[in-house]
Structure 1
């Protein structure tokens, strides 16, 4: 981790640096600035994790850091270092992870730094989870996750011929000739794929991929014959709707 010490007193900076080197091994790099303006320039150019910020400095107070940063994102934790008394410092906790009273006590420094590191690690995990979720959201645009006894398989929508209800289970027929029994009712997949127009529910027990229809048969009632030769009934209340769409699209 990388830290920055902003303090106008050279002796205070060197003392804090030495304490961090001795007591906080997670911090590998320690930068220094003698005033807030110089510190802000470092913040803008470096990827910092923790900033140890003195409050009473010439020209700019440490409390003005957000003013000088303007639109620069604050992706680091701030620990104030100050000679202020306890009552005044309490207010600073609203904008900082912690504060340290001068002269700085070793245990308080370690505790404040560990608190900042814990928060930073939590943020890193959250970012990783968000990135992973984003990647899976992209995957979900083209594939569906099917839970099977041995794990989860990811199948392209185009590779699914149809879903068939089997009580509280659903049988999924795939383009490669295989099928999987999934421990979810057909309703689950109907709702999950409702935004994909290629899937159509011609009957209460079936959800078919229109891309895999081979034939419409009117023998002994209306039936769809899929590319795997499986016959799917079209319920009476869906026949007119289905034929109307076919006539409109294919001009039969």
Structure 2
């Protein structure tokens, strides 16, 4: 696992690393790879950009010299839809901008360790769930895929249609089944007839 830390406050960077190491040790998890930057321009420098875009989790400050955390977060999310982004800041004015690119969590400074642990645990859980394979059972066949391949679940009268990146399938399971199964992944139910994958733009929806 690769984790990005980007903040112009050295004390915050030290605190984040200390807390994250403590979490991994207490949970008996393998040590992740950390990449630490003092500003957004350093994160996107030619020698670090490619590696940063492959990160699993990013903790980004908002107000930094050069490109701010909102700009950096939007770019990381565009290039790597799977990344879990934590915005870490004292300025709540940026919440609306952060939500536009589906930031995973918004953490206030000073960092509360218990809250960080809770949200980091959920991020790890979602990452593990997204990597897990699931089955789509129809009357004719059973298809194995990951949740990343599912664009939307649609309820049409008594039918439940699973729209994937490659095709649409009529599931033998009801909408409640899919709601429970996808609850902790990157899905949202904006309407009782739809469960959508927030990783994909609306243009992909049928």
TM range (shorter): 0.5 to 0.7
Aligned to 1:31: 35
Q: How does 1:1-252 map to 2 (within 5 A)?
A: 1-25=1-25, 26=29, 28-41=32-45, 42=48, 44-45=50-51, 47-65=54-72, 68-69=75-76, 72-85=79-92, 88-89=94-95, 92-94=98-100, 95-126=102-133, 129-130=144-145
Q: Structure 1 regions of 5+ residues with no counterpart?
A: 135-252
TM-score (norm 1): 0.45
RCO greater where, 1 or 2, for CA within 8 Å and sep 6 or more? 2
5+ residue gaps, structure 2, are 136-143, 150-206
**2:89 touches 2:109 (CA, 8 Å); kept in 1?**
yes
Per the alignment, in what secondary structure is the counterpart of residue 130 of structure 1? strand
Question: What is the TM-score with the length of structure 2 in the denominator?
Answer: 0.54
**3-state DSSP of counterpart to 2:41:** helix
**Residues in 1 aligned to 2:120 and 2:77: alpha-carbon distance in whole angstroms:** 25
Give the equivalent residue in structure 2 for 1:222. Answer: none
Q: What do the CA deviations read for 1:96-136 (whole angstroms, capped 9, x no partner)? A: 110110000001110121121111111111489427xx9xx
For this pair of structures, how many residues does the alignment match?
Answer: 131
Cα distance change, pair 75–126 in 1 and its aligned pair in 2 (3 A): same
Answer whether contact 2:77 2:83 (CA < 8 A) is retained. Answer: no
CA distance change for structure 1 residues 57 and 126 in 2, over 3 Å: closer, same or farther? Answer: farther
Q: 1:84 to 1:66 in 2, by over 3 A?
A: closer
Is 2:41–2:66's contact at 8 Å kept on the other side of the alignment? no
Q: Which has the larger radius of gyration?
A: 1
